[in-house]
């Protein structure tokens, strides 16, 4: 297939700063501090400061940031953790790896963010924490979260893997709860050139325990106080991320500008069942993904629309096609179809359109025009039937 508009294209980010990235990599090679090196320390300080947290602990992946981060918050066996059913499976895996029991709740159909009313109904005497997933680049309302946590005496552990520098209610992603997990997978708003993650916290004890857990549970070399593991953000990856971090705010602004253009271009199609996910954060949404719903009011199916995009050379995605509670690997949790109707409905409706810094206005318009063309073709078919 000839790709005219890729779903993600990182060249716009990398090409202008290629020399800086090369120099950063060369510096690590010369210094030879490949594990827990200076670039990692510098990046941990820089990213935590940018996110309004006191401490950053780099780990091997966002999944590890969740799993080890929960353990650092003393969440484990016997504890229930509330999370949305419509998240990437890493959120769930992190809870399970920490030894805790995942308790799914439904989401809000307009935003796809966790439904806090449903979460309130799910709280039991065993519930210890809630994981609000800041999905698609939009934060769950911090003010509502803090009120929820105070009401139920629970910890807030943020999954901010898609929300680098997102803001809402005067808070920045990573600064709301006791801790927050981030991913630096290459396609994230701030992405490495491989896997990587980080836990942010302003709690010194959590930071100290997380620092031990990522490094074999060692307080110092060969003295192990915790049953930890080997999960350290490579110095090489940290060096690249440190070079990219100063550009992140501008890249996020470009994403927001593109999202506004999408909103404007799609406005005539809303009445035809093509509905963008609602932005309730104004300028604070960082649009890791731009997602629309192909609802029952539409004359076309998502499958037909995706096929048309393929023919037009436009790449799209679905985030996510199967909710966590229906994944075969976790059937033992006892959930079934019908338990979370909003999450299940969204899984059948949502479609992620191209979104990245460097995407041009003409490409946005061509993407939307392709949707309009399919709708028009379908209308003609109906009229001629």
Q: Which helix (H) or strand (E) holds 72?
A: helix 62-72
Q: Strand, helix or coil at 80?
A: strand
Cβ atoms of 150 and 116 within 8 Å: the answer is no
Cβ atoms of 281 and 138 within 8 Å: the answer is yes
**pLDDT the model gives residue 377:** 78
Indicate the average pLDDT of the chain: 97
Angle formed by the axes of helices 62-72 and 89-97, to 10°? 40
**pLDDT the model gives residue 383:** 45
Cα–Cα distance between 324 and 318 in angstroms, integer? Answer: 14
- The DSSP code sequence of 139-205 is ---HHHHHHHHHHHT-EEEEE-TT-TT-EETTEETTSSSSEEEEE--TTSSS--SS--EEEEES-HH
Active site residue ranges = 188
Cα–Cα distance between 33 and 138 in angstroms, integer? Answer: 36
Q: Give the pLDDT confidence of 38-63 residue by residue, as tens digits.
A: 999 999 999 999 999 999 999 999 99
Strand order from edge to edge, sheet including 274-276? 274-276, 290-294, 350-353
> What residues have CB less than 8 Å from 289, skipping those under 6 apart?
136, 137, 162, 317, 319, 352, 355
Region 11-105+112-246: CATH code: 3.40.640.10
Q: Is the pLDDT of residue 1 over 90?
A: no
The radius of gyration computed from the CA coordinates of the chain, to the nearest angstrom, equals 21
Q: Is the pLDDT of residue 16 over 50?
A: yes
Q: Strand, helix or coil at 219?
A: strand
Angle, CA 173 vertex, CA 49 and CA 188 arms, to 5°: 95
**pLDDT the model gives residue 358:** 97
Cis before 145? omega within 30: no
Q: Is the pLDDT of residue 381 over 70?
A: no
User: Per-domain residue ranges for the chain?
Assistant: 11-105+112-246, 248-383
Q: Strand, helix or coil at 224?
A: strand
Cα–Cα distance between 187 and 264 in angstroms, integer? Answer: 25
**Average pLDDT, stretch 368-373?**
97
Cα–Cα distance between 51 and 145 in angstroms, integer? Answer: 18
**pLDDT the model gives residue 376:** 85
Percent of the chain with pLDDT over 90: 97
Q: Strand, helix or coil at 17?
A: helix
Region 248-383: CATH code: 3.90.1150.10
Closest Cα partner for 159 from 136, 178, 131? Answer: 131
CA 136 to chain centre: 6
**Average pLDDT, stretch 108-114?**
98
- The DSSP code sequence of 259-324 is HHHHHHHHGGGGGGTEEEPP--SGGG---SSEEEEE-TTSSS-HHHHHHHHHHHTB--B-S-SS-G
Q: Is the pLDDT of residue 108 over 90?
A: yes
């Amino acid at each position: 297939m000839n790709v005219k508009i890729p779903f993600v294209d990182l060249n716009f980010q990398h090409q202008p700063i290629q020399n800086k990235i090369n120099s950063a990599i060369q510096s690590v090679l010369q210094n030879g501090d490949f594990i827990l090196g200076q670039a990692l320390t510098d990046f941990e300080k820089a990213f935590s400061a940018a996110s309004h947290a006191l401490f950053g602990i780099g780990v091997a992946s966002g999944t590890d940031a969740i799993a080890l981060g929960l353990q650092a918050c003393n969440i484990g066996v016997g504890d229930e953790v509330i999370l949305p059913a419509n998240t990437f499976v890493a959120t769930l895996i992190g809870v399970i790896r920490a030894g805790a029991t995942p308790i799914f709740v439904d989401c809000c159909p307009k935003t796809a963010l966790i439904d806090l009313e449903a979460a309130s109904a799910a709280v039991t005497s065993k519930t210890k924490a809630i994981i609000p997933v800041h999905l698609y680049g939009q934060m769950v309302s911090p003010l509502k979260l803090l009120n929820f946590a105070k009401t139920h005496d629970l910890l807030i552990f943020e999954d901010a893997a898609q929300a680098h520098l997102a803001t809402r209610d005067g808070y920045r992603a990573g600064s709301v709860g006791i801790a927050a997990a981030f991913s630096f997978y290459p396609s994230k708003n701030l992405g490495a050139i491989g896997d990587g993650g980080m836990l942010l916290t302003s709690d010194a004890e959590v930071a100290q325990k997380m620092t031990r857990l990522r490094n074999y549970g060692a307080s110092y070399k060969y003295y192990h106080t915790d049953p930890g593991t080997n999960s350290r953000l490579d110095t090489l990856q940290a060096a690249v991320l440190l070079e990219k971090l100063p550009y992140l705010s501008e890249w996020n602004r470009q994403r927001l500008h593109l999202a506004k253009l999408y909103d404007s271009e799609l406005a005539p199609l809303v009445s035809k069942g093509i509905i963008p996910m609602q932005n309730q954060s104004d300028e604070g949404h960082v649009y890791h993904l731009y997602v629309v719903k192909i609802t029952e009011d539409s004359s076309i199916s998502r499958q037909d629309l995706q096929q048309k995009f393929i023919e037009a050379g436009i790449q799209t995605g679905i985030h996510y096609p199967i909710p966590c509670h229906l994944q075969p690997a976790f059937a033992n949790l006892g959930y079934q179809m019908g338990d979370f109707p909003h999450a299940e409905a969204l899984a059948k409706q949502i479609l992620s359109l191209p979104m990245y810094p460097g995407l041009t206005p003409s490409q946005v318009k061509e993407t939307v025009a392709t949707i309009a063309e399919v709708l028009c073709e379908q209308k003609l078919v109906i009229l001629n039937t």
